[in-house]
Amino acid sequence: MYYGIRARTRNPAVSNPFDELARDTLLVVGALFPIVNPLGNTPIFLTLTRGLSGPGRARLARAIAMNGLALIVASIFIGTHILAFFGVSLPVVQVGGGLLVVSTGWSLLRRSDDAQPGGAKEPCREDDFMRQAFYPLTMPLTVGPGTIAVAITLGANRSGASGWKLLPIAGLLIGAAAIAVSIYLSYRFAESLAQALGESAMNVVIRLSSFILVCIGVQILWNGLSTLLKSL
């Protein structure tokens, strides 16, 4: 009897605050990582940065990771306010972003074989690639409209559930940082992945990845259209 009472008193109903921190962190990682899919985007990233040196690719990967982190954090914390300020709904963001993703994937599918990693080398300037760090390499290739829509939803639900508190904010930031680290590592070692696969296998992966990107854009577009149609 005594041990039973003591056991109950040692298990309070109040949850450990660090459990909430871990839960918010895993919520962001679990929701955004499959959509960002940095490993799946690696072949496309390698195609778009053909001819770039190893240090230049590392610098570009770091810039894309930082841009992605900024987009995710902004979407979580102020995304709903930005949309409300411009009078734009989330389905409209999905429609416009879906069209952008489809356009990017289609242009990659139509690239000739000499634009693949095994094609002829062309002189390149790293500054030219750095100008593309935000568009199209960060948006929409890495952090696209699907990621932004989910991040905005996460932020809206979290703020509505318990308001903005220190531990939930820390958990969301840690989760976003983990996504950014995965982006950097995937893009930083993209060339090593290509060397492991070989030229022929990499060309096949690039074509399949481009086609999947088109399909993802169509799905995002349809999600926004279906929501808009239901509101009529």
Give the span between the Cα atoms of 30 and 33, in whole angstroms. Answer: 6
pLDDT at 52: 87
Joined tokens for residue 152: 């905005």
Exposed, middle or buried by CB within 10 Å (0-12, 13-18, 19+), for 145?
buried
Instruction: Please check whether residue 17 is in contact with residue 161, taking contact to mean a CB–CB distance below 8 angstroms.
Output: no
pLDDT at 19: 81
Joined tokens for residue 196: 């492991």
pLDDT at 164: 62
Give the span between the Cα atoms of 37 and 67, in whole angstroms. Answer: 16
pLDDT at 161: 52
Instruction: Please check whether residue 62 is in contact with residue 191, taking contact to mean a CB–CB distance below 8 angstroms.
Output: no
DSSP 163: -
Instruction: Please check whether residue 115 is in contact with residue 207, taking contact to mean a CB–CB distance below 8 angstroms.
Output: no
pLDDT at 59: 94
Residue closest to 125 by CA, chosen among 190, 53, 64, 192:
53
Question: Which secondary structure element, helix H or strand E, spans residue 25, and what is its range?
Answer: helix 17-36
Query: Mean pLDDT by 10-residue block, N- to C-terminus, for the chain (232 residues)?
Result: 43 62 90 89 88 89 97 93 89 89 86 50 68 91 90 77 73 95 94 82 83 89 91 84
Joined tokens for residue 199: 């030229």
pLDDT at 124: 57
Instruction: Please check whether residue 222 is in contact with residue 98, taking contact to mean a CB–CB distance below 8 angstroms.
Output: yes
Phi, psi of 11 (to 5 degrees): -125, 75
Instruction: Give the list of residues 6+ apart from residue 124 with CB closer than 8 angstroms, or none.
Output: 50, 51, 52
- The amino acid at 199: E
DSSP 113: G
pLDDT at 163: 58
Question: Where along the chain do its domains lie?
Answer: 17-112+125-230
Where b means 16+ CB within 10 Å and e means fewer, 192-211 reads eebeeeeeeebbebbbebbe
Instruction: Please check whether residue 216 is in contact with residue 111, taking contact to mean a CB–CB distance below 8 angstroms.
Output: no
Q: What separation in angstroms does the CA of 46 have from each of 66, 161, 165, 184, 197?
A: 18, 41, 40, 13, 13
pLDDT at 12: 45
